[in-house]
Structure 1
Amino acid sequence: MSKFGELIDTRVPVLLNFYSETDKVCQEMSPILREVATTLGDTGRVIKIDVDKNKELAEALRVRDIPTFIIYKNGEMKWRQSGEQDSRTLVDLVNEYL
């Protein structure tokens, strides 16, 4: 979990995407997340976390539904929501925490 702490303890907002390779909606979100990362550039980070490979972390954060999106800044959770999102919404949300 110490690596997780390093990922989220940054001055720029970090958008985490908890997903599963086997979930259709999660697969459909991949190009959207690439678009979000490209749009944000250096102003924010997008990190995908496979719940099947990171079960302990998913359980610790009580991720029950996928996809789940969480925004952290300076180690603090700022926003969280499960379900499909569009790129504009995600970019706007991350930009709120710049």
Structure 2
Amino acid sequence: MAIAEVVIVPLGTGSTSLSSYVAACEDVLRKEKDIRYQLTPMGTVIEGDVHKIVDVVMRMHEVPFEKGALRVSTTLRIDDRRDKEATMEQKVISVLRKQEV
């Protein structure tokens, strides 16, 4: 199972507000099966099969163009650990357990 972070930035939109683009991209995620995701203030974290993640990100990348953006910048970071099962929550818990009290 892979964990990825994606940031999709529409450019050339004529406005500094991007929330409608974010909402439309999230619509793509909401319809997906076999993945989990978490919307954050600065991007979206996706958990699932790496091939499924890449496929859904490609479809999300097209959303701003469909809504009239002239240019789209997408950043994708993938953590694909294959020696053991990993989840978004496990990664956070691992760090918290190592913090000094």
Instruction: Using structure 1 for the length normalisation, give the TM-score.
Output: 0.31
Higher strand share: 2
- Which protein is bigger by CA-based radius of gyration? 2
